[in-house]
Structure 1
Amino acid sequence: MHPVLEVKGLTGGYSQRRPVLHELSFTVNAGHIVGLIGLNGAGKSTAIKHILGLMHPHRGEIRVLGHTLAENPEQYRGSLAFVPETPLLFDELTVEEHLRLTGMAYDVPEESYTRRSGQLMDEFYMTGKRKAFAAHLSKGMRQKVMIMNALLARPALYVIDEPFLGLDPLGIRSLLDKLAEVREEGSAVFMSSHILSTVETYCDRFIVLHQGSILVQGTLEDVCAKAGVRTGSGSLEEAFYRLTANGGPHGPVG
């Protein structure tokens, strides 16, 4: 087991005077799914933007497979794939053309591309939409295309932001099955989601983010112990509520 994503002392945000994130430190190891959970405005999306290199830290560093973005931009970006909350596609390209573009960007061998793309089309029930333009797809189908592109690339790190929004039940099941599969293959998954029941079932570790700081991180048992909750079905939701209600463990926000 080795760290794929390493975040050390990350402080950052949109303004140097008022940082959103405060001294975040955590790792995501190979073969692990780590769930990032927090209230709206906790800093989850800001943390993800820093990991993707869309924002620069005020302090601290982020490494993917041992590389920072500044040291080796090509290696850093080529080691991760991102699935955003809102699908971002080219309206003039078909589903198949999006996959082909991703295959070229990540240097996926032709034989692997043909096999993977066909499997993903079948698993996400998109074979009949292979030639459809993105502009003609529903939001859920557009989200499936984003997910399929990430899975096609087979990166060391998947960064996924609220992946279940807009997906139908079959799409959710297909995604969860694939995440379990890539975890077994040794990839790392860093996933933000508000659906705590699903996160509890599929994630190996959790990071509870509140007001830009980490309240607790670790296994379900670690989170429950911090919140004073017994471990069991639905315990993550109860622990999260206790940790974040009324402004967190330090009381209401003034």
Structure 2
Amino acid sequence: MTTLLEVKGVTGGYSYNHAVIKDVSFHIREKEIVALIGLNGAGKSTTIKHILGLLEPIAGEISIAGKTFQSDPENYRLSYGYIPESPIYYEELTLWEHIELMAMSHGLDREVFYERARPLLKEFRMEEMKDRFPQQFSKGMRQKLMIMMALLVQPPLYIVDEPILGLDPLGIRSLLTWLNRCKEQGAGILMSTHILATAEKHCDRFIILHKGEIRAQGTLEELRRMTGLPDSSLDDIYLHIVEDDGQ
């Protein structure tokens, strides 16, 4: 299968004098969901910011569909959809205007926009909210806005940062249903999450990041063999790895 995201030997952080992540390497292929898991401060957010192009690596290279941010920033950014942990929105735009703006920024014509936007509003139960402003929403509703904006443009790669926080059970089900549908249609998905039971159920591979370094990665069966914990859950494997390192 085609590799969509390639992270090669990336060392980086918020300054050249202090590396938060060190020699991080992994890839995301089409038609797979990969979980990025780690303790608070492990380097997950720093890794994601490097992939988004918000931070420049001290060393290493990141490419999406063969493009790097340094060589082609505009098309690089159009190659991914990002669902942030904390909703980001314009106070002066309604929900509908937000998704219209996203469509225009990605060059979607009007017909395609309507074909995609209406089912998303229905799926996430936001039809009655489309003409309201996000500051009137609950945190979960604002998160649904971020999700719909990313799903609308149907990019080859999704970067999803703690997407379940703040969502109600129906919202969680809708998100996971859509992500699995995107996967079946050929997308690759990198999902940072602390909810290991959900990751184990829905993700194909797992990347365990600890103290800025990748300590293990692979399928659940590969992680079981690596740790010598046959039949163990992802939660047990994860705790075994981080506790063995003195945590």
| Both proteins in one fold, TM over 0.5 | yes
Match in the other structure for 1:240: 238
Matched, 1:38 2:38: yes
Shift of 1:115: 1.1
Shift of 1:16: 2.1
Give unpaired runs (5+ residues) of structure 2. none
Residue 159 of structure 1 aligns to a residue whose secondary structure is strand
- Give the aligned CA root-mean-square deviation in angstroms: 1.0
Q: State how 1:189-228 maps to structure 2 within 5 Å.
A: 189-228=189-228
Shift of 1:227: 2.4
Matched, 1:252 2:246: yes
Is the 8 Å Cα contact of residues 96 and 130 (structure 1) preserved in structure 2? yes
Residue 215 of structure 1 aligns to a residue whose secondary structure is strand
Find the aligned partners of 1:227 and 1:135 in 2 and give their Cα distance: 47
Find the aligned partners of 2:69 and 2:219 in 1 and give their Cα distance: 29
Find the aligned partners of 1:32 and 1:50 in 2 and give their Cα distance: 21
Shift of 1:125: 0.4
Find the aligned partners of 1:219 and 1:231 in 2 and give their Cα distance: 13
Match in the other structure for 2:76: 76
Aligned residue type for 1:72 = D
Aligned residue type for 1:239 = I
Matched, 1:170 2:198: no
Find the aligned partners of 1:118 and 1:107 in 2 and give their Cα distance: 18
Match in the other structure for 1:144: 144
Shift of 1:17: 2.6
After TM superposition, the score normalised by the length of structure 1 is: 0.95
Shift of 1:18: 2.3
Find the aligned partners of 1:17 and 1:149 in 2 and give their Cα distance: 36
Find the aligned partners of 1:89 and 1:224 in 2 and give their Cα distance: 41
1:38-65: CA deviation from partner (whole Å, max 9, x where unpaired): 0010000000000001000000000000
Find the aligned partners of 2:215 and 2:126 in 1 and give their Cα distance: 40
Residue 172 of structure 1 aligns to a residue whose secondary structure is helix
Match in the other structure for 1:19: 19
Q: State how 1:110-121 maps to structure 2 within 5 Å.
A: 110-121=110-121
Aligned residue type for 1:110 = R
After TM superposition, the score normalised by the length of structure 2 is: 0.98
Find the aligned partners of 1:101 and 1:168 in 2 and give their Cα distance: 26
Aligned residue type for 2:242 = T
Is the 8 Å Cα contact of residues 23 and 60 (structure 1) preserved in structure 2? yes
Residue 181 of structure 2 aligns to a residue whose secondary structure is helix
Aligned length: 247
Shift of 1:231: 2.9
Find the aligned partners of 1:132 and 1:9 in 2 and give their Cα distance: 45
Shift of 1:252: 2.1
Find the aligned partners of 2:111 and 2:31 in 1 and give their Cα distance: 25
Q: State how 1:71-110 maps to structure 2 within 5 Å.
A: 71-110=71-110
Residue 164 of structure 2 aligns to a residue whose secondary structure is coil
Shift of 1:91: 1.3
Aligned residue type for 2:197 = S
Find the aligned partners of 1:212 and 1:145 in 2 and give their Cα distance: 31
Shift of 1:224: 1.9
Match in the other structure for 1:182: 182
Aligned residue type for 1:69 = F
1:125-149: CA deviation from partner (whole Å, max 9, x where unpaired): 0001111111111110000000000
Shift of 1:111: 1.3
Aligned residue type for 1:240 = Y
Is the 8 Å Cα contact of residues 11 and 20 (structure 1) preserved in structure 2? yes
Between 157-166 and 106-115, report the one with greater CA deviation: 106-115
Give unpaired runs (5+ residues) of structure 1. none
